[in-house]
Amino acid sequence: MGKAKVYLVGAGPGDPGLFTLKGKKLLERADVVVYDRLVGDEILAMANPEAEMIYVGKVSGRHALPQEEINALLVAKAAEGKSVVRLKGGDPFLYGRGGEEAQYILEHGYQYEMVPGITSAIAVPAYAGIPVTHRDATSSFAIITGHEKPGKSESSVNWKEISTGIGTLVFLMGVENLGFICERLIENGRDPGTPVALIREGTRPQQAVISGTLADIVEKVVQANFKPPAVIVVGEVVELRQELQWVEKLPLWGKRIVVTRARAQASALAEGISELGGQAIEFPSILIKPEEDLRPLYRAFQSLDKYEWIIFTSVNAVDIFFNELISQNMDIRELKGIKICAIGPATEKRLVGRGLRVDSIPDEYRAEGIIEELKPRIIPGQWVLLPRARGAREILPDSLHKLGAHVNEVYLYEAITASKVSRESLEKILNGNVDYLTFTSSSTVTNFVKIVGEENVAKIAGQIKVACIGPITADTAKKMGFTVHITAEEYTISGLLQALVEDSKGVI
């Protein structure tokens, strides 16, 4: 990516899955990110960790930075020879003042590039089950600013033309002027019975929809205390929502679920929650800290030919083991003839990705399952290499010793307490503003308690359902004072997601 260039990037309507691939690529490589209020944390987390992050958000009547200063800021950062991503909600050229910023950049001798975003004017109604066009309803639609203030001497909106000449009307930034909008449409010939929908937090798990007609929608919005920002849709297509609404039917729709896994491992669970309609609140309680002294592992590398088995009990162990193997100018050919055991399908998948075939996976994905699986296969006197986490339970090496095996237990990493946490997420948890708290290992439990404080466990336990990936984790949670509501029958991320879905069916 070239320096001294400003990229005007649309972040889309809110769902991070609707952010463009090109936008993500530019964000990952940017030197400076200048972002607006409606850009979500999940998208901001994609930014280059070394990038300078500058907030310039605007709320009605209150701007973090006036537009003129934003323009000057973009040019000033480009003048420093930096690549600048100007990140805007929706699309920069649709009521995003992107055109003004582009002109200013060019006038001052710098290059800009436009990266469109999916506009909320189409995506938000779609997530509410409202197509802006439909062959049985209308073949025309218009996007209109709802921000125009009543009492202007000259309106920029041709109310007479749009009121009866266009099928679907989509108003952006119009909640505060809803009464004025409805009045103007009715005055200019639109049927007072025309369906209207307001969609707040569209495409997000917090999405809320309120429907009515031009005649009664204002009263309904007031009664429901329905706050902006929201997209307003006017037209017969609104009635299709009764048939086409889909996101609210997802099994975890609207559920707020805390993910306590290490950030590097959280993606599978967070993505699964999002795909099922829930909101994943990432609150990593652990960090994976590789061992500083890996000489015991290097010594094991030098005598690999004596081992009959290598047992991998985590994805982390796989990654560190093979990264270090390569760092020692060795590769998987050194493992020829050694049998490989993986604790579960996720670990197996990572091993297969490394070019290895797994010989054994237990039916029960924990240490006890490995022992049952290997009991008839371990011959006394055989050597077993066990690369794993410091602090892991001793049942596995102890049981292998009892089977007559020689076990070389090598520590590769330690799960330590995360030092940086989101204060906003912590407040949500302490105030009970989430539905589920998930734990995927005993270390996520113990380190979570260190972060929130033992004195807060009872408060959290009384307000939030706790879901654990398996019985060992559940036992740890109980010992720490939690009430465990859900324990996955299959000790995997998929199993945990399924358990959440089953439980949510009974949650109102």
Chain center to CA of 486: 22
* 36 catalytically annotated: yes
Structure token pair of residue 133? 């066009």
| Spatial separation of the C-alpha atoms in residues 390 and 322, rounded to whole Å | 18
Q: How far is CA 420 from CA 284, 285, 457, in A?
A: 9, 9, 19
What is the sign of the dihedral through the CA atoms of 164, 166, 168 and 170? negative
| Spatial separation of the C-alpha atoms in residues 374 and 360, rounded to whole Å | 8
Omega cis (within 30) before 229: yes
Q: Whose structure tokens read 């006197």? A: 381
* Catalytic site residue from 173, 255, 339, 465: 173
* 58 catalytically annotated: yes
CB 132 within 8 A of CB 170: yes
Instruction: Return the H-helix or E-strand segment holding 407.
Output: strand 406-417
* 1 catalytically annotated: no
Neighbours of 60 (CB within 10 A): 11
Neighbours of 489 (CB within 10 A): 11
Q: Whose structure tokens read 């000790």? A: 491
Q: Long-range contacts: 420-425, Cβ < 8 Å, 24+? A: 421/283, 421/284, 421/451, 422/282, 422/283, 425/258, 425/281, 425/282, 425/283
Chain center to CA of 313: 26
CB 202 within 8 A of CB 127: yes
- 476: left (phi > 0), else alpha (psi -120 to 50), else beta? alpha
Structure token pair of residue 357? 């075939």
* Catalytic site residue from 58, 82, 220, 478: 58
Strands 58-59 and 383-389: unpaired
* Catalytic site residue from 15, 36, 91, 435: 36
- CA within 13 Å, CB half, 395: 10
CB 129 within 8 A of CB 241: yes
What is the sign of the dihedral through the CA atoms of 399, 403, 404 and 407? negative
CB 136 within 8 A of CB 236: no
* Active site residue ranges: 36, 58, 173
